[in-house]
C-alpha cells in the first residue's frame, strides 16, 4: 500500500515514515499543502495521514479541496488539536478517522489497517485469488498453502494486481506503487513483472500484458 504523510514536524514525519515502512507500506512524505495537492493530482495513494497545522495552509483546506474534486482517498487526520470543533469540522469535510497527538504507533497501525480494509471492502488483511493468498499486514504470500518468499517490490506488485484481480491495472498505477517519486528506467516495471511471472509460473494464474493499457491478473486458461 502507498501512503502519503503530510506533516511539517520533521522528526514526527520521519518517525511515521519509518514505522509505516517497517509495517510494509510505501511512504511519501511532504510538509506543505500545495506540494501535497500537486502530488495527489499526479499519483494515486491508498491512504493519507494528514496534519492540520501546516505552514502554508490548514490541512482542512486540503481535505476540502480533495473532496470537492471527487477524490475519495481515505484520510486520517493527525493533529495536536483535540477540540471538539476541529474534530467535527474534519469529519464533516470528509475525513475517515481522527487521531489526536500524542498517539501510539501500534494504535495508528491498527487504524490504518482498518481504514484500508474498509476502503477495499475487505473483512480481514488477506487477499485470495486462484490458490494464492497474500497477507497485507504480515507481508507474506502463500501459494497452494506453501510460503512464497518475494522481494519487497515484487510483493508490492503482486499486492496491486491482487487488489484488482480480473481488472486492468494501468502501468502508471503500478509504477507509482513500486517506485513513487524515484527516477527509474523506461523498462523498470517490465523487469519486476518478468521476475514475478517466473515465480508464479507453476501457479494457476497469469499476469497478462495489455499493450497500451496495463496488466491484469487472471486465472490461467488450459
3-state secondary structure the chain: CEEEEECCCHHHHHHHHHHHHHCCCEEEEECCHHHHHHHHHHCCCCEEEECCECCCCEHHHHHHHHHHCCCCCCEEEEECCCCHHHHHHHHHHCCCEEEECCCCHHHHHHHHHHHHHHHCCCCCCEEEECCEEEECCCCEEEECCEECCCCHHHHHHHHHHHHCCCCEEEHHHHHHHHHCCCCCCCCHHHHHHHHHHHHCCCCCEEEEEECCCEEEEEECCC
- Give the pLDDT confidence score for residue 48 in this predicted structure: 95
Specify whether the CB–CB gap between 117 and 124 falls below 8 A: yes
- Give the pLDDT confidence score for residue 123 in this predicted structure: 61
- Give the pLDDT confidence score for residue 87 in this predicted structure: 76
- Give the pLDDT confidence score for residue 220 in this predicted structure: 78
Residue 1 grid coordinates? 500500500
pLDDT tens-digit profile, the chain (222 residues): 789 999 999 999 999 888 888 887 888 999 999 999 999 988 888 899 999 889 999 999 999 999 999 898 999 998 776 667 777 888 899 999 988 888 888 899 889 988 888 877 666 677 888 888 988 877 889 988 888 899 988 998 998 898 888 888 888 888 887 887 676 777 889 999 999 999 988 888 889 998 888 999 998 765
- Give the pLDDT confidence score for residue 211 in this predicted structure: 87
Question: Within 13 Å of residue 24, how many CA atoms lie on the same side as its CB?
Answer: 19
- Give the pLDDT confidence score for residue 6 in this predicted structure: 95
- Give the pLDDT confidence score for residue 145 in this predicted structure: 81
- Give the pLDDT confidence score for residue 187 in this predicted structure: 86
Q: How far apart are CA 36 and CA 43, in angstroms?
A: 10
* CA nearest neighbour of 157 among 106, 130, 129, 195: 195
Contacts of 157 (CB under 8 A, 6+ apart): 174, 177, 178, 192, 193, 196
The reported pTM is: 0.65
Determine if residue 212 is left, alpha or beta; phi over 0 gives left, psi from -120 to 50 gives alpha, anything else beta. Answer: left
Amino acid at each position: 500500500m502507498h501512503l502519503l504523510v503530510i506533516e511539517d514536524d520533521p522528526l514526527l514525519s520521519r518517525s511515521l515514515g519509518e514505522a509505516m515502512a517497517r509495517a510494509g507500506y510505501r511512504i511519501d512524505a511532504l510538509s506543505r499543502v500545495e506540494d501535497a495537492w500537486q502530488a495527489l493530482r499526479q499519483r494515486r495513494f491508498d491512504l493519507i495521514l494528514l496534519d492540520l497545522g501546516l505552514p502554508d495552509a490548514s490541512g482542512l483546506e486540503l481535505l476540502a479541496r480533495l473532496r470537492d474534486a471527487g477524490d475519495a482517498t481515505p484520510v486520517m487526520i493527525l493533529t495536536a488539536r483535540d477540540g471538539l470543533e476541529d474534530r467535527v469540522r474534519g469529519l464533516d469535510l470528509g475525513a475517515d478517522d481522527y487521531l489526536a497527538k500524542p498517539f501510539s504507533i501500534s494504535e495508528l497501525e491498527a487504524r490504518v489497517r482498518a481504514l484500508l480494509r474498509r476502503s477495499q471492502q475487505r473483512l480481514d488483511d488477506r487477499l485470495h485469488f486462484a490458490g494464492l493468498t497474500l497477507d497485507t499486514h504480515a507481508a507474506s504470500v502463500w501459494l497452494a498453502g506453501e510460503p512464497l518468499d518475494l522481494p519487497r517490490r515484487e510483493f508490492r506488485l503482486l499486492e496491486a494486481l491482487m487488489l484488482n484481480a480480473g481488472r486492468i491495472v494501468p502501468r502508471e498505477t503500478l509504477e507509482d506503487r513500486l517506485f513513487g517519486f524515484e527516477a527509474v528506467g523506461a523498462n523498470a516495471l517490465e523487469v519486476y513483472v518478468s521476475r514475478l511471472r517466473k515465480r508464479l509460473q507453476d501457479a494457476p494464474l497469469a499476469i497478462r500484458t495489455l499493450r497500451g493499457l496495463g496488466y491484469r491478473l487472471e486465472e490461467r486458461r488450459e
